[in-house]
Structure 1
């Protein structure tokens, strides 16, 4: 079992962050295999063939993408902690990546091969020099070609996860805020986070605290570490994994007939608490339209709003939960992603 140990000072200084590089790494993983995320299915269908053609033309990029998609230990240079908090820029993350030496990268790649469940021949593609710059080039191409246009939608979903967990943090503390971040991550005792069930050394989090970084995959988590930076735990954003079953799809159609499509969409979207701005961004509606729908849903006692600083965060009431989901609570899909650094989830 691997534990992340935090004292009270480290805990008080821990915070959330976003990472375009983590989103890019997740995209490389998702596009390297059949799609299991229903909400990403159309994006996956549009982009997988083009990315595969890019990789086929570059043995280094192809070998690296295949390795990170089939190992329980991600090479260190592809999973560095973000440096800009909630405003982290990809350019800054790639500059940080480019500072890693070829020797460090080669050693880390060998560890990744040892932890892979597939066979890899490093000698066939780990040739030449400038491995960090070539990795950064792959990240930049993947971002510009496959992610940049979709980033506003993804960012809104990630910010909603942070809003949700920040609310739990304010009300109940870190143990509650960390609930169900991944299949195996949980608070243990009074000063530790369980990261993995696999054998390995515990990590001691320094006084700067650690970062919690959501990404839009539905499963899998990984730990980012750098010699001069805090640990960062990358985890699947809450509620993105499950697509509707046939019975759920029928219920959604009935809900739209009952409430109207706009109000039904908002009630469904509030499976994760959100502000009106976040709902407007996700559903591509104006703030005025969202506000009008929320007013009706509040009058019907299907949603309730609670102030958090300058924002009002909306959530479904018990009646809204029953109407939207047919139960008094929804559960995230805790499936195994099969990749991560030193990953918290098993691969296979």
Structure 2
């Protein structure tokens, strides 16, 4: 089954993950946040059963819903983003990680659009496509007419398939753009001078470590800034050919009207889809770097300094109570 064949969920739906049907996860198909995919919630209790989670991978999870795992495009788990690399990513078959702090695990999964039906079994006018406008001469009639070659039909379908993938990828890019903004704001707030109280408990080595942390924060913000610039101003924005692709789709593909240069257009749509995948990969890498190399070390350092300050404060209170015992 393809995701497009399922109506959007109205509530969480149970999905059995073992033959007995006693172990289930919960799925929401085509939610507003992931209109071209689904969200999973894996109960924390499931991770306490080693037999239940053994081999519970994303590919197996999607297959349990009855959908085609080969259509997995990308996914988000524990705030980290991953690309399926056309179904070749080894992470698709790795056991899902246990959630931190005993919480439920949430996985958002984006699915690629399925290929269009083959020939000649496809309907005359597929659902969602307009029929040729009334009054057009027969020579301009589109889809299903005898004057359109079989090759042109296949080329139009190839453009349509690529365009559907493009729309799904653009949803993912928009989501990543928001995540980058949120992470950048957190890194910016961490990139600060230590307070006077924090400096009092720091050794010279601690001060050097914090300088390294701030350098990593700045580097990560620079990398994420490049990703934002690529998304906002690069090939995938209005500065590129995106508007042209949309115009070709509306004027020719929807109306099923072949046009000069259609073979070149197929290549350009395919190239644009690959560019979007590269943008997603770069954005994911910058987010991973920001979390792994910058945010986590900075938070860890500040927690250590806070613990030192609390310990020193307790010692100070103890010494004060010994020097000035309460009356009586």
Scaled by the length of structure 2, the TM-score of the pair is 0.24
Identify which of structures 1 and 2 has the higher relative contact order when contacts are C-alpha pairs closer than 8 Å and 6+ apart: 1
Structure number, greater radius of gyration: 2
